[in-house]
């Protein structure tokens, strides 16, 4: 961190805080620490993903505990969805880590920009078309497993925890918002844990930057959890969509 000035360090901490809020309030949000590390540092793609994914161990565990406390993960259907997603992540995450070690910085920037744009579109679509109603239910186990594998592989490549893709896709499939958030947090613990082991094995984790981003991110998780349970989040959703669409071209060209 010696080559980073005070403003850059402060911005990285803010990316962590905003990411934590987004993780538990919306699901999408976990990509923000990855974006910050990629745009503001000189880390290689594997180091960006490895450093970012480390932070999601603590945030995922805290968010899982929070949604267990508020009751969503005590619901049998939600717990089943979470377990299937987590099981699929055991297979998908190592594949993503392996792919990351083969991509150039330019390709990584393109992938990250594409993820940012995709998440923005998913959040916008969900907001425009509304969430599921009272009769909403969880999809078939095979569909959840396929989703869990695909998201885990993508998360391993980019260095995210999983909720940024899992939550919008579950909601689109008919799972209520809070239940989607809860199941995705449990999945993120597995993705982050396995992903961290993979990137540590490749020597691709900057522990000091992980702490700088991760501590504010933990605080953001608690703030986001309260927002998700207490306040309308339409303004926050549109702000996230605007930010992701604005930054996506920069990321794609920055590589």
81 in Cβ contact with 184 (< 8 Å): no
Residue 174 CA neighbour count, 13 Å, CB half? 10
Helix ranges (DSSP H) in 70-176: 76-100, 105-129, 141-158, 163-172
* Radius of gyration over every alpha carbon of the chain, rounded to an integer in angstroms: 16
Residue in this structure with the two tokens 């991509």, named with its chain if needed: 103
Kindly give, in sequence order, each residue whose CB lies less than 8 Å from that of residue 155, ignoring residues fewer than 6 positions away.
53, 89, 92, 93, 96, 161, 162, 165, 188, 191, 195
Sign of the torsion formed by the C-alpha atoms of 218, 223, 228 and 232: negative
pLDDT of 138: 75
Reported as a single tens digit per residue, the pLDDT across 37-56 is 988 998 998 999 999 999 98
- For residue 184, the SS3 value is helix
Phi/psi for 146 (5° steps) reads -65, -45
What's the rounded Cα separation, in Å, for the pair 248 and 245? 5
Angle between helices 141-158 and 177-201 (to 10 degrees): 50
For residue 226 the two structure tokens come to 């309260």
pLDDT at 106 over 90: no
pLDDT at 233 over 70: no
What's the rounded Cα separation, in Å, for the pair 183 and 138? 11
Q: Which of 71-80, 89-98, 113-122, 183-192 has the lowest mean pLDDT?
A: 113-122
120 in Cβ contact with 240 (< 8 Å): yes
What's the rounded Cα separation, in Å, for the pair 213 and 217? 6
pLDDT of 132: 52
Kindly give, in sequence order, each residue whose CB lies less than 8 Å from that of residue 106, ignoring residues fewer than 6 positions away.
255
What's the rounded Cα separation, in Å, for the pair 140 and 137? 10
Residue in this structure with the two tokens 């947090």, named with its chain if needed: 185
For residue 119, the 8-state DSSP code is: H
pLDDT of 104: 81
Q: What is the pTM assigned to this prediction? A: 0.80
213 in Cβ contact with 33 (< 8 Å): yes
Q: Which of 110-114, 133-137, 217-221, 247-251 has the lowest mean pLDDT?
A: 133-137
Reported as a single tens digit per residue, the pLDDT across 216-232 is 999 998 888 787 666 66
Burial class (CB in 10 A: 0-12, 13-18, 19+), 196: buried
What's the rounded Cα separation, in Å, for the pair 116 and 212? 22
């Amino acid at each position: 961190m010696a080559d980073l000035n005070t403003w850059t360090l402060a911005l990285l901490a803010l990316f962590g805080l905003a990411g934590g809020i987004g993780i538990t309030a919306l699901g999408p949000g976990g990509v923000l620490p990855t974006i910050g590390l990629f745009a503001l540092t000189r880390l290689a793609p594997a180091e960006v993903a490895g450093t970012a994914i480390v932070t999601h161990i603590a945030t995922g565990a805290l968010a899982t505990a929070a949604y267990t406390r508020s009751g969503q993960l005590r619901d049998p259907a939600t717990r089943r969805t979470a377990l299937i997603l987590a099981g699929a992540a055991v297979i998908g995450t190592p594949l993503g880590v392996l792919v990351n070690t083969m991509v150039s910085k330019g390709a990584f920037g393109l992938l990250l920009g594409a993820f940012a744009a995709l998440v923005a579109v998913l959040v916008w679509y969900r907001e425009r078309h509304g969430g599921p109603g009272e009769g909403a239910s969880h999809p078939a186990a095979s569909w959840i497993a396929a989703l869990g594998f695909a998201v885990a592989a993508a998360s391993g490549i980019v260095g995210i925890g999983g909720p940024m893709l899992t939550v919008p896709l579950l909601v689109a499939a008919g799972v209520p918002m809070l239940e989607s958030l809860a199941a995705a947090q449990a999945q993120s613990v597995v993705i982050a844990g396995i992903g961290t082991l993979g990137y540590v094995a490749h020597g691709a984790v900057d522990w000091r930057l992980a702490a700088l981003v991760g501590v504010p991110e933990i605080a953001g998780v608690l703030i986001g959890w309260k927002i998700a349970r207490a306040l309308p989040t339409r303004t926050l959703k549109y702000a996230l969509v605007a930010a992701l669409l604005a930054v996506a071209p920069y990321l794609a060209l920055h590589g």
